A and B are shown apart, each in its own frame.
Chain A
Amino acid sequence: MSTNATNAPSTLSEWLVYWRIDLQLLVALACCAALGLFVLYSASGQSSTVVINQSIRLGIGLLGMLLVAQIPPEWFRVAAPWVFGFGVFLLVLVVVLGDTAMGARRWLDLGVVRFQPSELMKLAAPLAVAAYFRDRSLPPNLRDIGVGALLIAVPVLLVADQPDLGTALLIAAAGSFALYFAGLRWRIILLLIIAAAAAAPALWFNMHEYQQERVLTFLNPARDPTGAGYHISQSKIAIGSGGLFGKGWLNGSQAHLNFLPESDTDFVFAVFAEETGLFGVMALLGLYCFIVGRGLYIAMKSQDTFQRLTAGSLSLTFFIYVFVNIGMVAGLLPVVGVPLPLISYGGTSMVILLISFGILMSIHTHRKLLAT
């Protein structure tokens, strides 16, 4: 597969290069995932089943990441339009014959596994935009911006229709970051932000009732003190009672007394904050920032437009996960179903996330070879 196959690795750094591993990224991700397992053990009420399941998923995800890292980035560029097209096809299929779970059509039953095509789009959309702009003159002209916007809008609308507003917004963010790095002019960005603010009322009236509910509850938690507002009040109590140093691992009473709902999935940050306090939160944010920073560094070092846009947008998307989840748990943002990356209990989204880091590693480790 690689040109240096004849040079058998002898030292650690050679071995890492041979296996296309970016050590800094790998260590940071592994630290984060290991931390996640501890938090989950506490948040799930000390359930070893949860920890074992999560470990298996992590294993699969890491393996997938390393496999993806072996693939030359050029392949992603070639594959991007096809994967994108296939993803759109699957999304349309979901609209036509998807399984309905909890009132939303998101799943495609493939007989063996049930699969959420919208997750695939989180990768495919930014890759497709990046692939499109590779050969264009940048900053892009209006026509190219239009094509890029279309590439983002199609999957976003299909996913929003399912309805899955959280995922749709993440796909939109991922695609928009690629556009941003492609050099979308500032005044256009400003214009878009103004337009989005103006379009908010229209969006509101097209939302499903439960989505409107969430926004209203966010604006006024007292409105529904026994339902969604209850989540927010309880998670604020958990975070606030943690103080500077936290109550200590396995000592967070909010989660263990079942006051905090969904404590091992979307609200896991509250448990973490309750048990490790402000210092723990700063450490976790630091770890996340390191991962994002490393991603941006990889983007800066890459020389091909496609790789640059891909690495940049994937890194920023990862940060958006972190920001939206913590913002929501801390009561800054409405409750949307976004997990805390690498820590929340859950499968598909974590595997996709790790695969995106596989792409980053591929970009970084193949770069040196391309440069020589």
Chain B
Amino acid sequence: MAADNAIKNHAAERRMFLLRTAVAGAGIAVLVGVLLFRVSYLQVLRHGYYETRSQDNRMRVQVMPPVRGLIYDRNGVILADNLPAYRLEIVPEQVDDLDATLDRLAKLIEIRKADRDRFRERVAKTPRFRGVPIRLNLSQREVARFEVNRGDFAGVEIRAGLTRHYPLGRVAAHLVGYVGGITVQDLGRVDEKRYRGSNHIGKSGVEYSYESRLHGDPGSRVVETNASGRALRELEMNRPTAGESLYLTIDARLQKAAFDALGDQDGAVVAIDPNTGGLLALVSKPSYDPDLFVDGISHVNYKQLITDPHKPLFNRALQGQYPPGSTVKPVMALAGLETDQIEAEKQVWCPGFITLPGSNHRYRDWKRSGHGWVDMLEAIFRSSDVYFYKLGLKLGIDNIHRYGELFGLGARTGVDLPRENSGIMPSRAWKNGTRNQPWYPGETLNTIIGQGFMTTTPLQLAQMTSLIAQRGAGYKPHVLRAWKNPVNGGVSQTEPTALRPIALNDPQHWDVVIKGMEEVIGNPRGTAYHYVGQNLDYTIAGKSGSAQVTKLAQNQAAPDIEDVEHQFRDHALFIAFAPIENPEIAVAVLVEHGGGGSSVAGPVARKVIDAFRSQPPVLQASTGSGR
């Protein structure tokens, strides 16, 4: 049949095939032998072992959730703690009539309808031999009452566990964040396997951003249980690995001082260590009680939080975007000097307003009568708007944008906290992109005094201040200082990430700007002299800012603060650092609708720096390695 193929040798081929078949047969015999050997091993040699596993005793795998790592401040003060808690669990398989059991339980222990509904949902999704919690955080009384009657409740058990507690409460809520129940969305961003048996996951703040470190790895326990579900003995045990404990750069005392300094006002305080970029305090007000979230916040409480017009859940320090007002003037002065548009000594006439050619719109100074002849120093410490308007016309928006960007404005700082906003450092491209409009010269004037389109977060202002304090050298803002390995107890330090240094053509320009900021507080004619500059025993430089919330009419002067309804008042801002020679702290303060920057935000900044100076950190910043 294949006669055309002369070299085909059918007989040889057939012999070869028979040999191959024989070899295959031998292979099959070996493999069948392997299977039989294996099955015999299981069914004969190990039969006794497996029979006990399978008969009236039931082997059960229990996941042992890891202990969540703690969070400390830089001095070892606990910011997030684990407290023992008792929960009531039911193993559905071992209960004949769930409803009746729940009804009987409800007579001993408070079980709300919400508890029941949640329980029903989880029972439907869980294997019937696994325990499902019906109540969390039992009181000692409830535990005692149940233990007395436990004989009546087969398949119901009290389990001890840990729950999260935040000793600082609302003082550090926006910084530390909180944990809460695990949702489907949460599982999407983590390895689900690590969360079997876990009840909590980080939802915001440090708890969120360092979730994978804090959580740890679960262990498992194989136990033998009798028919009523009681564990008889442990067969196998893999211990869980606790999460890493974190040490923050935050100083709890300073955090508290900053929180108190803001008083009842809405706003934010960010304090940063210019030598490392480590945040010393981060406060947003109003705040909320993070403990409320841990075991599921009640509907009433949650509704209250989200409908509150003061938005307590909103983290103003990272997410709030406010016009920086005059706090950006030092940076703009620096831009003028560096681009040779102006000399520090040059006197500029400030009549209280300027107009642009071809328009009669008056760009007003905050001081209606003007400041007269001012040089750069005076323009900074008296906060002349007209001086900067004129400088702005020379600089142009491109230079303004460039220097703003150099100081980190308009970009996220990359701090290790979630949901940071970027603010806006406007430019031609930005305006073209977002509004499809060209840049108008009047907008340059608004921008150079930190108004108009420009917005910044308090964190960005703190970073900018820190950069000025260190004369262009700086580190990325962060809150994690060190972490402890749960297995060997070793502590590792984080290395601060250096920012790209701002190199000036003439480094002496720093002196001009910093001198101007020093005079803001130290010069009797400086805007903050009366509010910040009294009884100082250290050197300090700062700058005030007021961010307009509403536009003033054409010829209207700024009205008296007491006459303005609260929500139309300007935001008050103040930035400061101290001491000037060897900066240890840089602060940005924002008071929403506070009015004057120097009078309202200034004293807050002073209190924070005073608190810092009176209680130097136990662990100095310099204990961190490698800097």
B-binding residues in A (CB < 8 A)? 134-139, 177, 180-181, 183, 222, 224-227, 230, 236-244, 253-254, 257-259, 273, 277-278, 281-282, 285, 289, 292-293, 296, 299-300, 304-305, 308, 312, 316, 319, 323, 326-327, 330-332
Contacts and interface: CB of A to CB of B under 8 A. Distances in A.
B49 A240 contact: yes
Contacts of B53: 237, 240-241
B236 A222 contact: yes
Looking at B2, B18, B24, B58, the one whose CB has the most chain A CB atoms below 10 A away is B24
Contacts of B359: none
Interface string B120-135: 0000000111000000
A243 B61 contact: no
Given A225-B61, A289-B32, A323-B31, A239 B42 contact: yes
B59 A281 contact: no
Contacts of A259: 58
B32 to A, nearest CB: 6
B44 interface: yes
Contacts of A227: 193
A238 B39 CA distance: 11
A28 to B, nearest CB: 16
B196 A226 contact: yes
A180 B5 CA distance: 21
Given A226-B196, A289-B32, A236 B42 contact: yes
A275 to B, nearest CB: 12
Contact of B220 (A183, A226, A236, A278): A226
B16 A319 contact: no
Given A240-B51, A243-B51, A292-B28, A183 B43 contact: no
Contacts of B127: 258
B5 A241 contact: no
B239 to A, nearest CB: 12
Interface string B220-233: 10100000000000
A104 B4 CA distance: 47
A319 to B, nearest CB: 6
Contact of A230 (B50, B61, B236): B61
Given A239-B42, A240-B50, A240-B51, A282 B36 contact: yes
A241 B220 CA distance: 24
Contact of A180 (B20, B28, B32): B20
B39 A181 contact: no
Nearest to A330: B38
B17 interface: yes
A315 B295 CA distance: 60
A251 B54 CA distance: 12
A241 B34 contact: no
Nearest to B5: A135
Given A285-B32, A300-B21, A253 B43 contact: no
27 contacts: A136-B5, A138-B13, A138-B16, A177-B24, A181-B17, A183-B16, A225-B238, A226-B63, A236-B50, A237-B50, A237-B59, A240-B47, A240-B54, A241-B51, A241-B54, A241-B55, A243-B51, A244-B44, A258-B127, A259-B58, A292-B28, A293-B25, A300-B17, A316-B28, A323-B35, A330-B39, A330-B42
Nearest to B219: A225
Looking at A259, A289, A327, the one whose CB has the most chain B CB atoms below 10 A away is A259
Given A230-B61, A243-B51, A137 B5 contact: yes
B394 to A, nearest CB: 59
B608 to A, nearest CB: 48
Interface residues of B, number: 48
A242 B2 CA distance: 55
A138 B39 contact: no
B194 to A, nearest CB: 11
A299 B21 contact: yes
Contact of B43 (A138, A278, A292): A278
Given A299-B17, A305-B13, A332-B35, 20 more contacts: A136-B5, A137-B9, A181-B20, A183-B16, A183-B20, A222-B236, A225-B61, A239-B42, A240-B42, A240-B49, A240-B53, A240-B54, A241-B53, A243-B44, A281-B39, A289-B28, A300-B21, A327-B35, A327-B38, A332-B38
Looking at B7, B42, B236, the one whose CB has the most chain A CB atoms below 10 A away is B42
Nearest to A246: B43
9 A-B pairs closest in CB distance: A240-B50, A241-B54, A240-B42, A137-B7, A241-B50, A278-B43, A243-B47, A241-B51, A225-B220
Q: Is the interface of A mostly helix, strand, loop or mixed?
A: helix
Contact of A312 (B24, B39, B54): B24
Contact of B21 (A240, A273, A277, A312): A312
B40 interface: yes
Interface in B169-216: 193, 196
A253 B4 CA distance: 64
A319 B31 CA distance: 10
Nearest to A180: B20
A371 to B, nearest CB: 12
A237 B34 CA distance: 19
Contacts of A237: 50, 53-54, 59
A181 B21 CA distance: 8
Contacts of B31: 319, 323
B46 interface: yes
B1 interface: yes
B46 A316 contact: no
Contacts of B44: 243-244, 278
A273 B36 CA distance: 12
B259 to A, nearest CB: 44
Given A241-B54, A243-B47, A327-B35, A308 B128 contact: no
Nearest to B19: A183
A224 B43 contact: no
Nearest to B6: A137
Contacts of B17: 181, 183, 299-300, 308, 312
B23 to A, nearest CB: 9
A285 B128 CA distance: 35
B8 interface: yes
B26 to A, nearest CB: 12
A36 B53 CA distance: 27
Contacts of A181: 17, 20-21
Contacts of B35: 285, 323, 326-327, 330, 332
Looking at B34, B38, B50, the one whose CB has the most chain A CB atoms below 10 A away is B50
A5 B21 CA distance: 34
A186 B50 CA distance: 43
A289 B28 CA distance: 8
B5 A239 contact: no
A222 B238 contact: yes
A236 B41 CA distance: 11
Interface in B33-87: 34-36, 38-40, 42-44, 46-47, 49-51, 53-55, 58-59, 61, 63
Contacts of A292: 28
B193 A296 contact: no
B131 to A, nearest CB: 14
Given A240-B43, A300-B17, A330-B39, A225 B222 contact: yes
